Structure 1
């Protein structure tokens, strides 16, 4: 019974929200018509139409989020000029949805009204006995003029209550069908959004590659190259002083040897930053185990990957895990971290979860944005869940083929 009451409450809430959207649609329909008339006066019609379109998009996006599974938004950007708006299929489809939702508002209110109408049927016999005989009593258009007629209201009330319980399902199905038919992006809109996404992804990858090349150049110039120059100078000075001052020459050779070791170490670290040797030798699982062992915070591993992936995918997955783990260690004040790799055949799911203080925001730091840019090159996605007080979970999905 409790489950049924909860379901009835959810249905009632859904109907009320649908009615509210329908009322807003009823207000936007005449505004849209007025804005289209104003388009005959472009200096005035353009801003008004843009304002109405923004309101309509916001209302339509609200409906897209309510329908399961969620419908993607077809809009490539903010409203443009009058000619661009009128040429968009999404504008006219949204207008059609407004008309449909305006009608759905009346249906939703009718379905909601079934509950009080059904309950009224149970009290009609009592009202007939208690109210004065000269007072006209009507139930759903049926005059109640006798005791048998008042009793007929009871089974009618039962029918109305049964309809009130099951009608929301039919309403939700019809509303979802309407939304999917009109609010789902067309093939052309999906193709346009896909092209725009690929352009943005390509630009981000090119920028990231250029930044990485500049970093490598800077590290080589300031680190290994400087040490090699000093090493060359020490060797030359040692060669000049070898006959006149063998002791000083030996000291310079020792310094040169130490400088060579330092340069080799820096080159090794630089190469490891480009492609870790552990990743090439032992694959993603071994590299993840090495990350966990090097972490100052205890890391629990859930590694469900039994095959080697392509080198670019492994590299991207490794750096996602490394960045997410570094963020958890540096910012989360965590006492325990869980890192998982799950092979789902066509995609790789990566998770890093910590029990820290939460509050991570990808818009405030470069680490999470870097993860998103790295995954964007592979059509991957990253989701960050980090309520204040924790826990924080970074989940990345990376297509990897079957």
Structure 2
């Protein structure tokens, strides 16, 4: 759990949350009943979609309480679920969720909340409401029957407006003082119980991390394999074909130079053109693997050169106090380059902007445009490839692209500055 910058809730806010917890006791009991019923029905087909729906609802319910517990404690309570659940196959999805230890910790929390959590919330509400009720007892004593006789805390007898005034006010003040002192403690105790049961354990964090690294490694291997195929295809279809044509032209020129010098000169001119084209294609290929400007001028210079060659008006703001490692610079450069290419191809934008800064051990890259919006990593526009490239460095990609724009792509990569730069 990490610290949060939001202020701690006030006593009245905690009181409101206690009232809400009391109101949630009904859905809490319903959810427990549904979960137990779904387990009984799981042997028949009807039970599978019902179980999936109940598990999904239970996760949403507990995620909400994780957020509220973090709000009370001033910390962030993470989600402990396994990183990936199968997207297809009802049986696989159900048993993957049932096989997740976090599901059973959620279920255990439901019981703990039904008993201890609800008791703390009820006590919190009862102290304040009871205190106010005792203080105001004399004002509504007239509404009780004439022969009413009420015992307060078992030994204070109240049988008239005067006795309600003398006994109710002091006792009510005691209740309110106790509520004022104990209310934060009780609600933090409820929140700590929630956090202890619903926060990810070290084992869950390790398992999720292993799963993320496994997926990241597979994505990286696929990306590298695709990149090697692209290089092979570009060499075969481009520079290699040019060089073969160059060799043929030189061979024919060698055969015809004695009997037809003019034809030999034409062949040599074709060979010279083919060599120039092959050299240009090789340079483009090398630039696609690792731009020389990136090694010479660093990430800032490479981005500036990229923008100069871009047909779209692009504002650049870079604040990186040093050089990054070569792999990180390369990944960052191509991430920005591919994102900018997507803007040119798909966004119908008139302007773009690039912001790069380094803070708290993280390189943050922002690429935005004023285009039509609607960008999505699942649309095959290259954003998924960027996400996979960054995942090899534990990087993330977040897209904000409402219809009508603007589109903002925020990419971040944890990294360190290279010493001596």
Report TM bin, short chain. 0.7 to 0.9
SS of 2:109 mapped into structure 1: helix
What residue in structure 1 maps to residue 59 of structure 2?
57
Write out aligned runs for 1:268-279 (5 A): 268-279=283-294
- Please state how far the C-alpha of 1:125 moved relative to its aligned partner: 5.7
Which of residues 250, 256, 265 is equivalent to 2:280?
265
Give the gaps of 5 or more residues in structure 2: 1-8, 71-75
> Is 1:46–1:82's contact at 8 Å kept on the other side of the alignment?
no
Q: State the TM-score, normalized to the length of structure 1.
A: 0.80
Return the alpha-carbon distance in structure 2 between the equivalents of residues 273 and 24 of structure 1: 57
Asked if 1:288 is matched to 2:314, the reply is no
- Please state how far the C-alpha of 1:312 moved relative to its aligned partner: 0.9
- Please state how far the C-alpha of 1:266 moved relative to its aligned partner: 1.1
What residue in structure 2 maps to residue 93 of structure 1?
105
CA displacement 1:147-187 (0-9 Å, x = unmatched)? 57358767877887888888775465334312220112222
- Please state how far the C-alpha of 1:342 moved relative to its aligned partner: 1.9
Return the alpha-carbon distance in structure 1 between the equivalents of residues 183 and 397 of structure 2: 36
CA displacement 1:348-383 (0-9 Å, x = unmatched)? 222223343433221223421111100111111122
SS of 1:215 mapped into structure 2: helix
Asked if 1:23 is matched to 2:30, the reply is no
Q: Return 329-338 or 73-82, whichever deviates more.
A: 73-82
Write out aligned runs for 1:327-366 (5 A): 327-344=342-359, 346-366=361-381
Pair 1:223–1:144, CA change in 2 (3 A): farther
- Please state how far the C-alpha of 1:55 moved relative to its aligned partner: 3.9
Pair 1:273–1:29, CA change in 2 (3 A): same
What residue in structure 1 maps to residue 395 of structure 2?
380
CA displacement 1:263-296 (0-9 Å, x = unmatched)? 1111111110111111011111111111232233
- Please state how far the C-alpha of 1:389 moved relative to its aligned partner: 3.6
Give the number of equivalent residue pairs: 395
Q: Return 331-340 or 273-282, whichever deviates more.
A: 331-340
Write out aligned runs for 1:177-216 (5 A): 177-216=192-231
Pair 1:218–1:310, CA change in 2 (3 A): same
Return the alpha-carbon distance in structure 1 between the equivalents of residues 400 and 152 of structure 2: 51
Write out aligned runs for 1:388-399 (5 A): 388-399=403-414
> Is 1:299–1:339's contact at 8 Å kept on the other side of the alignment?
yes
Which of residues 54, 75, 82 is equivalent to 1:75?
82
Return the alpha-carbon distance in structure 1 between the equivalents of residues 343 and 126 of structure 2: 53
- Please state how far the C-alpha of 1:27 moved relative to its aligned partner: 1.8
Root-mean-square deviation (Å): 4.0
> Is 2:324–2:415's contact at 8 Å kept on the other side of the alignment?
yes
Return the alpha-carbon distance in structure 2 between the equivalents of residues 272 and 238 of structure 1: 33
CA displacement 1:10-46 (0-9 Å, x = unmatched)? 657745654455433222334444566x49x956898
What residue in structure 1 maps to residue 5 of structure 2?
none
Pair 1:249–1:190, CA change in 2 (3 A): same
Pair 1:110–1:360, CA change in 2 (3 A): farther
Return the alpha-carbon distance in structure 2 between the equivalents of residues 315 and 107 of structure 1: 55
SS of 2:81 mapped into structure 1: coil
Return the alpha-carbon distance in structure 1 between the equivalents of residues 38 and 136 of structure 2: 50
Pair 1:105–1:312, CA change in 2 (3 A): same
Return the alpha-carbon distance in structure 2 between the equivalents of residues 392 and 84 of structure 1: 36
CA displacement 1:282-329 (0-9 Å, x = unmatched)? 111111111232233333333222322221111011111112222333
CA displacement 1:25-78 (0-9 Å, x = unmatched)? 222334444566x49x95689847666544433432333344431412323536
SS of 1:363 mapped into structure 2: helix
- Please state how far the C-alpha of 1:237 moved relative to its aligned partner: 2.3
Return the alpha-carbon distance in structure 2 between the equivalents of residues 165 and 314 of structure 1: 55
Pair 1:85–1:339, CA change in 2 (3 A): closer
Return the alpha-carbon distance in structure 1 between the equivalents of residues 169 and 244 of structure 2: 100
- Please state how far the C-alpha of 1:210 moved relative to its aligned partner: 1.0
Give the gaps of 5 or more residues in structure 1: 1-5
What residue in structure 2 maps to residue 3 of structure 1?
none
Pair 1:242–1:273, CA change in 2 (3 A): same
Q: State the TM-score, normalized to the length of structure 2.
A: 0.77
Return the alpha-carbon distance in structure 2 between the equivalents of residues 155 and 334 of structure 1: 71
> Is 1:64–1:73's contact at 8 Å kept on the other side of the alignment?
no
Q: Return 286-295 or 13-22, whichever deviates more.
A: 13-22
> Is 2:316–2:355's contact at 8 Å kept on the other side of the alignment?
yes
SS of 1:193 mapped into structure 2: helix
What residue in structure 2 maps to residue 233 of structure 1?
248
Pair 1:163–1:330, CA change in 2 (3 A): farther
> Is 2:82–2:207's contact at 8 Å kept on the other side of the alignment?
no
